[in-house]
């Protein structure tokens, strides 16, 4: 069934990330019952027709649309929060959602400054009457929990001083632990956890460099079997690469709703820090600018707000 321009406008307004509120008001507000019936019949991905020829919303898509209508509100709410409260609430939500969201804990622990992470921990105390370390330890078992507790507890030195011989020695330690992963999971290696959870970011970037010189590979390229460690290394050493990938996944068609949230989270939390570098990495690795991709995939006030935040980073 061919769609009229009005039906095409409606379908586009409901598709993608966010909802085009202005198009809905302009088109639906002027529509007649027959036109709305045509829209229902022409969009079977939104509506079902039962045995009585009654067109009704598909329940699954109603739930999805509720999320899309909320995207703009959620983005504005997150943006206006104090960054400490925002990170504390993101951490709490990640713990509730389970393993598919634990990468958010890594983001918060590894891409914030020591003072920012300490602030998030203080906010978590105030909001939830627990420490974030306590809740991570309670919810996440085994080696992965041990790593995450160490990361969220960190207060790293932030100066530029690096001892090259120590960085080289620790790179060898990581090479040995990762190359012998078939014998022992590197998540369980105390030295791996110590290095990643205590060393400064300038030091770890030197370790990253020496690892490649010794092994011929980047650390994260050798950690596909240990996802949480891979996220940790990327967030500490190449955060622009990590966030660029999160954004790329969030902008794919039909991606899981948890992954879609990455678009709001990354743009809101990085708009005032390293968004320029993230945009450069996105363009280099995916062949299209982040702005162009959002213009293609997002709608309405949500799209406009994201683009406004992106413009802040230059």
The CATH number covering residue 233 comes to 1.10.220.10
Claim to verify: residue 146 and residue 180 sit in the same structural domain: no
Phi/psi region, residue 269 (left: phi>0; alpha: psi -120 to 50; beta: rest), is alpha
CB 276 within 8 A of CB 256: no
The separation between CA 244 and the C-alpha centre of its own chain, rounded to angstroms, equals 9
Q: Tell which of 57, 72, 93 closes a domain.
A: 57
pTM for this model (two decimals): 0.90
pLDDT (0 to 100) of residue 125: 97
Q: Is residue 71 assigned to a domain?
A: no
Domain co-membership, 253 together with 233: no
- Is 86 part of any domain? yes
What are the DSSP E strand ranges found in the chain? 47-49, 55-57
As for how many domains the chain has, the answer is 4
Tokens read off for 280? 């450069």
Domain with 16 in it: 5-57
Instruction: With respect to residue 307, please indicate whether it lies within any of the assigned structural domains.
Output: yes
In a domain, 141, yes or no: yes
Q: Is residue 250 part of a domain?
A: yes
Residue 242 to residue 231: CA distance in whole angstroms = 7
Of the three residues 128, 155, 182, the one that is the final residue of a domain is: 155
Rounded CA separation 131/114 (Å): 16
Phi, psi of 82 (to 5 degrees): -60, 135
Q: By the 8 A CB rule, do 152 and 193 touch?
A: no
Which domain-ending residue is among 207, 237, 267? 237
Find, among 62, 16, 28, the residue nearest to 299 by Cα: 16
45-87: per-residue pLDDT in tens? 778 877 777 878 788 878 888 888 999 999 999 999 999 999 9
Question: In the structure encoding, which two tokens stand for residue 264, read together?
Answer: 């709001």
Q: What is the mean pLDDT of each run of 10 residues along the chain (314 residues)?
A: 68 84 82 78 77 78 86 96 97 96 97 98 97 97 94 96 97 91 78 97 98 94 92 97 97 89 97 96 97 96 95 76
**Chain length of the chain:** 314
Instruction: State the pLDDT at residue 1.
Output: 47
| Residues 23-44: tens digit of each pLDDT | 888 877 777 788 777 777 777 7
Q: How many Å separate Cα 6 from the centre of its chain?
A: 35
The verdict on 45 and 88 lying in the same domain is no
My answer on whether 144 and 213 are in the same domain is: no
Assess whether 88 and 151 both reside in one domain: yes
Residue 263 lies in a domain: yes
Domain-located, residue 69: no
63 is a domain residue: no
Burial annotation 114-152 (CB, 10 A radius, 16+ → b, else e)? eeebebbbebbeeebeeebbebbbebbeebbbbbbbbbb
């Amino acid at each position: 069934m061919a769609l009229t321009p009005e039906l095409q406008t409606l379908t586009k307004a409901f598709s993608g990330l966010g909802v085009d509120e202005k198009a809905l008001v302009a088109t639906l507000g002027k529509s007649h019952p027959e036109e709305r019936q045509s829209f229902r019949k022409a969009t079977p991905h939104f509506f079902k027709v039962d045995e009585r020829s009654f067109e009704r919303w598909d329940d699954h898509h109603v739930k999805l649309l509720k999320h899309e209508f909320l995207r703009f509100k959620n983005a504005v709410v997150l943006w206006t929060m104090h960054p400490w409260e925002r990170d504390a609430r993101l951490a709490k939500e990640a713990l509730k959602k389970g393993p598919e969201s634990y990468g958010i804990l890594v983001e918060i622990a590894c891409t914030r400054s020591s003072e920012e992470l300490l602030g998030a921990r203080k906010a978590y105390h105030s909001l939830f009457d627990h420490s974030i370390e306590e809740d991570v330890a309670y919810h996440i078992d085994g080696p992965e929990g041990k790593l995450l507790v160490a990361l969220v507890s960190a207060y790293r030195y932030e100066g530029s001083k690096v001892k090259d011989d120590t960085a080289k020695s620790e790179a060898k330690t990581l090479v040995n632990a990762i190359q012998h992963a078939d014998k022992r999971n590197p998540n369980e290696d105390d030295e791996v956890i110590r290095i990643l959870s205590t060393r400064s970011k300038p030091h770890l970037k030197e370790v990253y460099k020496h690892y490649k010189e010794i092994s011929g590979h980047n650390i994260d390229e050798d950690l596909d079997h240990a996802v949480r460690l891979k996220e940790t290394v990327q967030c500490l050493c190449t955060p622009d690469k990590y966030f660029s990938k999160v954004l790329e996944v969030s902008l794919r068609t039909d991606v899981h709703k948890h992954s879609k949230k990455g678009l709001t989270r990354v743009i809101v939390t990085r708009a005032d820090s390293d968004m320029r570098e993230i945009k450069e990495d996105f363009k280099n690795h995916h062949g299209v600018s982040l702005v162009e991709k959002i213009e293609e995939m997002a709608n309405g006030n949500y799209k406009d707000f994201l683009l406004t935040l992106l413009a802040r980073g230059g």
